């Protein structure tokens, strides 16, 4: 029999085992109906329960103020890059963006197709190994919003302190890769969004959380599905949603509740990342962390071995031992261990054991 496999893929990423098991069990027979939930009308009572539960779980877990909107929108974060700018970036006016690498750049590129963008800080000079100092940023109080990416999967960097300008500038944050991995004060944000496929479910949908004054702020004549207000007015059922993604989100959020909530999950995530970084730091340069230590991500641990050959050897030997998805992003190479909520501590422990053994045999 094969060992259990631990999947360190950056996304689409591993979902909790219990969730995958339950989804498989009821795949063809939802709640004894002999019919799959995927084959039911999105206006059926059973699906209505699922979508309401997904929303209620999200609201509970993130302690979202009642007047905020919680939207389920087809397409991932890349689609939100465009949609948020189409809604929130005025034809006259501009938005501030922080550039922390690949995904924030893509958000900037899409917004530039819509309106005027001002990049107020960038990690480019240091190869995105660090997060720009929040205190050094000069923001424009006239900016429509300030956009940033809370966690950067490619480089393994993460904001541990958020920009905060009170109510002067609405904060818009792409939390795709660390949503619900740590407690966040939602009230400080005008908009939070995340593609599901890292911490919340399969690909194909985004979760969008929006302050009420932002929802109707559509500066352009837009088709219904490109306006946030449509999702608000129709409780996410203007048209057929991605039912599978909604369902999986309901199961994943239920699982987080069962773990004890985001605060408890955060503590486990701290332990997982701490022990992994400790293994890197004690290796005396055999494992080289990519990110500036104070900005290290708790979700994506990126490091390099002394040579390309060793990187490759590490990846393939780890795979043989049931640890897969460890190759770094194609733009930076090296090793990337993605340890989202669904990665159990024992997966990280096994990786650390392997790292220790591998170093012994190869240094």
Q: Binding residues for a second copy, per CB under 8 A?
A: 2, 4-5, 7, 9-15, 20-21, 23-24, 27-28, 33-36, 38-43, 74-76, 78-79, 81-82, 85-86, 109-110, 113-114, 195, 197, 202-205, 221-226, 238-245, 322, 324-325, 330
Three-state SS for 174?
Answer: strand
Shortest distance, CB of residue 167 to a second copy, whole angstroms?
Answer: 29
Three-state SS for 323?
Answer: strand
Three-state SS for 42?
Answer: coil
What tokens does 59 get? 């609201």
Q: Which residue lies nearer to a second copy by CB, 48 or 140?
A: 48
Q: Which residue lies nearer to a second copy by CB, 44 or 168?
A: 44
Sequence length of the chain is 363
Q: Smallest Cα–Cα separation from 276: which of 214, 334, 218, 345?
A: 345
Q: Smallest Cα–Cα separation from 198: which of 8, 3, 5?
A: 8
Count of CA atoms in the C-beta half-sphere (13 A) of 9? 12
Q: Which residue lies nearer to a second copy by CB, 251 or 280?
A: 251
Q: Which residue lies nearer to a second copy by CB, 131 or 246?
A: 246
Other Cβ atoms within 10 Å of 357 Cβ, number: 12
What's the farthest any 2 CA atoms get from each other in the chain? 63
Q: What share of the chain is helix, strand, coil (3-state, %, to 5)?
A: 40, 15, 45
Catalytic-role residue among 96, 99, 103, 227: 103
- Catalytic annotation present for 321: no
Q: Which residue lies nearer to a second copy by CB, 76 or 163?
A: 76
Catalytic-role residue among 99, 174, 178, 295: 174
Rounded distance between C-alpha atoms, residue 64 and residue 86, angstroms = 24
- Catalytic annotation present for 103: yes
Are 128 and 118 within 8 A, CB to CB? no
Count of CA atoms in the C-beta half-sphere (13 A) of 169? 24
Q: What single-letter DSSP state applies at residue 336?
A: E
Q: Which residue lies nearer to a second copy by CB, 138 or 221?
A: 221
- Catalytic annotation present for 198: yes
Please list the alpha-helical segments (H only) found in the chain: 17-25, 45-62, 77-88, 102-112, 212-215, 228-233, 243-259, 262-281, 308-320, 345-362
Catalytic-role residue among 96, 99, 178, 198: 198
Residue bearing tokens 């006016």: 93
The catalytic site residues sit at 103, 174, 198
């Amino acid at each position: 029999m094969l060992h259990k496999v631990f999947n360190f893929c950056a996304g689409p990423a591993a979902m909790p085992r219990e969730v995958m098991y339950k989804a498989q069990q009821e795949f063809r027979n939802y709640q004894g109906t002999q019919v799959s939930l995927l084959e039911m009308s999105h206006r059926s009572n059973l699906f209505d329960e699922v979508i309401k539960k997904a929303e209620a779980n999200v609201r509970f877990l993130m302690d979202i103020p009642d007047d905020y909107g919680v939207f389920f929108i087809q397409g991932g974060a890349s689609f939100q890059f465009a949609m948020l700018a189409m809604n929130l970036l005025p034809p006259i006016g501009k938005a501030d963006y922080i550039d922390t690498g690949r995904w924030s750049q893509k958000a900037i590129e899409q917004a530039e197709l819509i309106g005027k963008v001002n990049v107020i800080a960038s990690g480019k000079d240091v190869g995105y190994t660090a997060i720009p100092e929040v205190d050094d940023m000069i923001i424009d109080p006239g900016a429509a919003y300030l956009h940033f990416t809370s966690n950067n999967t490619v480089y393994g960097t993460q904001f541990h302190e958020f920009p905060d300008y009170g109510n002067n500038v609405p904060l818009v944050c792409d939390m795709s890769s660390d949503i619900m991995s740590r407690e966040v004060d939602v009230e400080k944000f005008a908009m939070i969004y995340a593609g599901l496929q890292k911490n919340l479910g399969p690909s194909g949908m985004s979760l969008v959380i929006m302050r009420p004054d932002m929802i109707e702020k559509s500066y352009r004549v837009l088709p219904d599905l490109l306006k946030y207000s449509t999702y608000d007015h129709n409780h996410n059922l203007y048209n057929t949603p991605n039912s599978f993604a909604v369902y999986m989100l309901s199961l994943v959020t239920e699982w987080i509740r069962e773990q004890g909530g985001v605060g408890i999950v955060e503590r486990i995530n701290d332990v997982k990342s701490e022990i992994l970084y400790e293994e890197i730091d004690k290796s005396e340069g055999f494992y080289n962390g990519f990110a500036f230590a104070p900005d290290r991500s708790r979700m994506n641990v990126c490091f390099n071995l002394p040579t390309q050959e060793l990187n490759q050897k590490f990846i393939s030997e780890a795979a043989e031992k049931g640890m897969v998805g460890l190759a770094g992003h194609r733009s930076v190479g090296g090793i990337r261990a993605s340890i989202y909520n669904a990665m159990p501590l024992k997966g990280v422990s096994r990786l650390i054991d392997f790292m220790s053994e591998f170093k012994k045999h190869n240094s």
